[in-house]
Structure 1
């Protein structure tokens, strides 16, 4: 039996694939390669090239590879861009998830781990986000992820009395960084680490947007979580589903305390040996002072823990990016 990883040629998905293999499970990748990299897929892992919107392709992959569950990582992940491209975002994230659930039902596949997002919370008015914190997504991207969670819930109810009732969980996380494999790195043009790394590789000075936030050092504070830890939590969730063990509908994969942008920049200087003082720009509209989540529930059920220091997050990400040339 195998697990289908949608978006398995992407930064996070490729780490999930490796974590599955390390756990003795058989991954199969489904990816349209719109942002994924074929080189991120190990040679011994099957790659089905195509879109999650292609119902026949998805169902065929589930049947051909005797899939027992899906880890659904594929999606359009750019919150800011989703404001300009809402219909595209909904097509990829909402319709794509619907198609996967429909194909799973037809193929008799009952387990799914959904890669959700902390964007479902929007800008929370609490210091520490829990699973029960109010959901107020502030972008089409966040809305699409919340709708995905609703669809899993509703399909679970609808199939409860069937031969293959849907078992599911959604994993919400914030800023994923670093690398657990020197051949896989973050290729996003919108994430902090790759933006900083590209600036340094091009001889430019990274920027900080706003240093007057209500935080200890004036820069905003976020959850930064290592991609290796994220991948491990997905695998633990998959194993729990497959074993029929109790599982929550959603987990926050949070750090509990967070890191500031300045702390990240200081770590970059220490790790890379490149001395720089970040330029200061104005705040970006809508950026809150602090968004940090607790990971206590995931720690209880999914062996969730922060295994990497901030310097290790930077070092592993920097080494993987430099290996790419």
Structure 2
């Protein structure tokens, strides 16, 4: 199977490329390198540098590499930034996904896996969220992903295409073999920021709000190891290859940790202090988001292997240390 991985030079997409190679499949990376890195793409994997909204280039790539399936990661993903720049997010995440889908239809692509988000739910409740929970995104980021889900559903209904849309919860960690990890210098992921602060790469970090309706007043999230998330994508491809119907699934562990608990865990695992300052709430941040993962476990037979916050933190620490040692120019 030849698989086009959009955003395959980035954090999550890069892990997908490794998993496809490990399984003996043939990935082709399509990335504009705005946040991804050329060095992260293995030498034996074709890299097409371009914009996913470039219909002609995408169509040419699909045909030239005899692509059988698309796994679509390419997107902007910073919630506060989306609040400040809604049109930019709708262009990048929704309009360009529409162009990608048009090229996929023209090329006869029958298998599509979409990187969606738990941000489609908004500030729903403090209980685990199932896929049929009401969708009420609090940010343009969440809305841009929801609209792409709608497009994908409607396209698949009239064309010979089946899809799995995977709603991510909070992704963290790094490849256990240290082949890949989150490498963006100014990434906003909480665990990466806390780890960089512990390592002295940042003088301090901010806690955005301590007055949420949670036990310690800070936001609660369901943190999932990137390797377990990628396993879900691999199982989604296998599910579709075996004739599975189109489906939307959550991908999370089903329990959450608060911002304060994450910072405390990074302190313990690293053995280093972290200066954390209290800052105002950020627009678009729900109080609690935790997955009900019953559907993905039942339908895709997904069984996570790294459901442990300390392990996620340890892998992040090791990756950040390797980045410093290699003196990579990010």
- Decide: shared fold, TM above 0.5: yes
Equivalent-residue separation in structure 2 for 1:109 and 1:213 (angstroms): 44
Say if 2:177 is the partner of 1:179: no
| Correspondent of 2:193 among 180, 192, 195 | 195
CA contact (8 A) 2:126 2:288 kept: no
Residues 321/191 of structure 1: CA separation in 2 closer, same or farther (3 Å cut): same
Q: Which residue of 2 aligns with 1:236?
A: 235
Match of 1:101, SS state, is helix
User: What aligned pairs does 1:205-284 form with structure 2 within 5 A after superposition?
Assistant: 205-244=204-243, 246-276=244-274, 278-284=276-282
1:250-292 deviation line (CA, Å, top 9, x unaligned): 0000211111222211221122121346333344455443211
Q: Which runs of 5+ in 1 are unaligned?
A: 160-164
Residues 139/281 of structure 1: CA separation in 2 closer, same or farther (3 Å cut): closer
**Aligned-residue CA RMSD (Å):** 1.8
User: What aligned pairs does 1:288-303 form with structure 2 within 5 A after superposition?
Assistant: 288-303=286-301
Say if 2:120 is the partner of 1:124: no
1:120-139 deviation line (CA, Å, top 9, x unaligned): 11111351110000001111
Say if 2:164 is the partner of 1:166: no
Q: Could you tell which deviates more after superposition, 218-227 or 6-15? A: 218-227
Residues 219/234 of structure 1: CA separation in 2 closer, same or farther (3 Å cut): same
Match of 1:318, SS state, is helix
CA contact (8 A) 1:68 1:242 kept: no
Residues 296/248 of structure 1: CA separation in 2 closer, same or farther (3 Å cut): farther
1:31-63 deviation line (CA, Å, top 9, x unaligned): 000111111111111111111011111111111
CA contact (8 A) 1:131 1:250 kept: yes
User: What aligned pairs does 1:20-31 form with structure 2 within 5 A after superposition?
Assistant: 20-31=20-31
User: Structure 1 length normalisation: TM-score?
Assistant: 0.92
CA contact (8 A) 1:295 1:304 kept: no
Say if 2:102 is the partner of 1:106: no
Residues 12/60 of structure 1: CA separation in 2 closer, same or farther (3 Å cut): same
Q: Could you tell which deviates more after superposition, 114-123 or 281-290? A: 281-290
Aligned length: 319
1:200-255 deviation line (CA, Å, top 9, x unaligned): 323623332333443334432111001101111111101211221x2452000021
Equivalent-residue separation in structure 2 for 1:36 and 1:272 (angstroms): 27
CA contact (8 A) 1:183 1:324 kept: no
Residues 207/91 of structure 1: CA separation in 2 closer, same or farther (3 Å cut): closer
Q: Which runs of 5+ in 2 are unaligned?
A: 325-330
